[in-house]
Every structure is written in C-alpha cells, then in structure tokens.
Amino acid sequence: MPKEKILGFDIGNYRVKIAYMIGGVLHDFISVQHPDNMVKNSQIVSWQAMGDYLKEVLKASGIRGGRAAVTLPQDSCYIRRTTMPLMTEPQLKINLPYEFHDYITEEPEKYIYDYAVISKNEKEMDLMGVAVQRELVAKYQEMFHRAGLKLTVMAPDVMAFQNLFEDYERRHGIARGTKDYVVLDLGDGKIDIHFFTKGEYEITRSMEPGCHAIYEEAAKTLGEDSHVVQRDAEMKLSASDSLRAESEVNDICSNIAVQIMRVLNFYSFNNPHNTLDTLYCCGGGANIPILMKDIAENAGLPLKSMAEIVEVDHKFDGQVLQSPQALGITLQ
C-alpha cells in the first residue's frame, strides 16, 4: 500500500507555505510568494484565483493529488477553553454552541463547532472548543478542490503549534501537563505571542505593526524594493549592517523587542510558577538579525527556532523556521 500523502498549508499575507508529508515524513517544503492582493489582512480575497494558483504551484513541484490540511488565522474563527459537565458526544454537539453565545452574534446554525477533550473525570470535562463559519469552510473546500486536493483538516494555527509540542513531548518522554511553552511568531502584518500553559493553548497576545514595517523602512534607506529586502533579510538586515545606525529601523526593532519583553513579564507575573525556559521563534521576521539581537537582549529567555523541536531533515530547518504551522497542522 502506498504511503499516505498530506499537504499542510499556511497561507499568509505575502506567501504560501506548504509542508508535503509522505507517510508522516517531511518530503518537501514549498514557500512561494503569491500574487499581490490575493490575501489581505490574513483573509483570502479571491478564492478561485488562489485555488488556481495553488494548482500551478503543486504542478510545478511535481505534486499531484492528496489530502490537504490548512491552518486558520485566529481572527477567522472563535477559540474557547471551557469546562462542561460530563456528557456524551451527541449531548456535547447540542450544548457546545451555547458556550460561544457571548462571542457569536449571528445565528448559531451558521457555524460549525468542533472540540478536543483536554481532560475529564467522573463529573466534568475540560475542552478546547472551536467555531467556524460554515460559509468559510465551504470556501476552503472549494478552493482546494480547484487545486486538485481534498480538504480533510482545518484548525486554528495555534493548534498546529500545540500538535508540534505534543509530538515533541512524546518523542522525548515528557509527561503531558508538566511543561509550559511560549511561541513568538514574527509575521509580516502582526506579531503573535502564543502561550501554552501545561502544554495546552491558553492565550495569544498580538502586536502591530508586524515585520513588514522593518522591510519597508529598510527599503527606503537602501533604495530597494521592500520585497527584495524581505527576500534577502538575513543578508541585508544583519546586526553589523549600517542600518543599525539608521534611527527608524533601529527604533522599530527596539520597540518590538520591548513590547515582547513586557508581554512575557506580564505572563510571568500572573503565572509565577510557570516553567517557561525558552522563547521559541518562527515566522519571516526570525530571519532579521538586527531584530533577533534586540529580542535576545530583552526577552529574558533563551531564543530557539521552532525547527529545533521537530524531527525532520536539517535541510528543511530554514523553511520550518518560516512556518512550523504548515508542518504541525498535518500531525493529527
């Protein structure tokens, strides 16, 4: 029997990242810049065009067919951790929508609800619930159908990170519920800091502007296109570069680092017994040396790439650093 194929997708504002898994092993990682204006504020604008574009990308990469798993931006769905009385699955399907009544102002029937059981005893159950618009799910299904794939998994991007931590703990014999994690996702449009208390997703703190502000300001100084600066960020934005003396670039990086420090300090203040020992980094901004230097000097935690917790060929480390979500969403 041939090994099962599944492709994990992370569709960002500027790039599409695809983890191509065969039999649970990362076979290829594709990262391509999609046409301008196809995605805006993390939301796909042209679904048909994106489907056709993905089909072209897969064809150029020699990939045909298979299952698709996709990460959802957090502002495309509702996530809620809740405790409910112990009940059967049919009872849970009836009652779960009521747990979102404070968040959803539309008719509950317009949403699809799903959940994961974190823990339970003889009286109650601790759940992570998710609600997604039915219309949005249908759009994703049609988009991947146009690309020649069957969508079988979709979940918030934080669940992809959680999958990676669960897999890491399983491989290293770490007991579930004994370790806290924090992920710094240095995106183009915004920067997210995700906290996983005892290995379970708890909360995200977001800040703007994202790293695209650095690329744009650096492009003005260098007299180059911001896309070129972003593509060659590691070379053009090195810590020893003359840009370090340019006030605007320097100020943006310093401000981002200080904001990150404040968020981490606030979490530690409210969780004095936390076990955070590493700030796991990912996203395109992790390739900006002058930014990473400022973060390292302010964070109060050692920095590591998310690529260090996954089990893949090291030739993929750079791509996994850019989008571990694309890999993590396939680990269901």
Name the band, by pLDDT with cuts 50, 70 and 90, for residue 166: very high
| Top-confidence residue, 168 or 238 | 168
Phi, psi of 238 (to 5 degrees): -75, 160
Query: What is the mean predicted confidence (pLDDT) over 19-33?
Result: 93
> Which pLDDT value is given to residue 241?
58
> Which pLDDT value is given to residue 36?
84
Q: Is the pLDDT of residue 229 over 70?
A: no
> Which pLDDT value is given to residue 238?
67
How far apart CA 303 and CA 295 sit, in angstroms, is 8
Name the band, by pLDDT with cuts 50, 70 and 90, for residue 239: low
Average pLDDT of the residues of the chain: 90
> Which pLDDT value is given to residue 189?
84
Q: Is the pLDDT of residue 86 over 60?
A: yes
Domains and CATH numbers, the chain: 77-133 (3.30.1490.300), 180-301 (3.30.420.40)
Name the band, by pLDDT with cuts 50, 70 and 90, for residue 103: confident
> Which pLDDT value is given to residue 231?
66
Give the model confidence (pLDDT) of 168-226 as tens digits. Answer: 999 999 999 899 999 999 998 899 999 999 999 999 999 988 888 888 888 887 777 76
> Which pLDDT value is given to residue 254?
92
Whole-number percent of the chain with pLDDT over 90: 65
Of the candidates 312, 280, 314, 308, which has an alpha carbon nearest to the alpha carbon of residue 20? 312
At a CB cut-off of 8 Å and minimum separation 6, what does 250 contact?
Answer: 243, 244, 290
Instruction: Give buried/exposed letters for 86-119 (b at 16+ CB in 10 A, else e).
Output: eeeeeebeeebbebbeeeeeeeeeebbbebeebe
> Which pLDDT value is given to residue 1?
41
Whole-angstrom CA distances from 318 to 34, 73, 234 are 19, 22, 11
> Which pLDDT value is given to residue 245?
54
Q: Is the pLDDT of residue 272 over 90?
A: yes
Give the model confidence (pLDDT) of 45-63 as tens digits. Answer: 999 999 999 999 999 999 9
Tokens matching residue 78: 């509702």
> Which pLDDT value is given to residue 325?
96
In the sheet that holds 124-133, the strands lie side by side as: 78-85, 124-133, 111-120
Name the band, by pLDDT with cuts 50, 70 and 90, for residue 310: very high
Query: What is the mean predicted confidence (pLDDT) over 308-324?
Result: 92
What number of residues does the chain have?
332
> Which pLDDT value is given to residue 213?
87
Query: What is the mean predicted confidence (pLDDT) over 290-319?
Result: 93
Check if the beta carbon of residue 30 is closer than 8 Å to that of residue 61.
yes
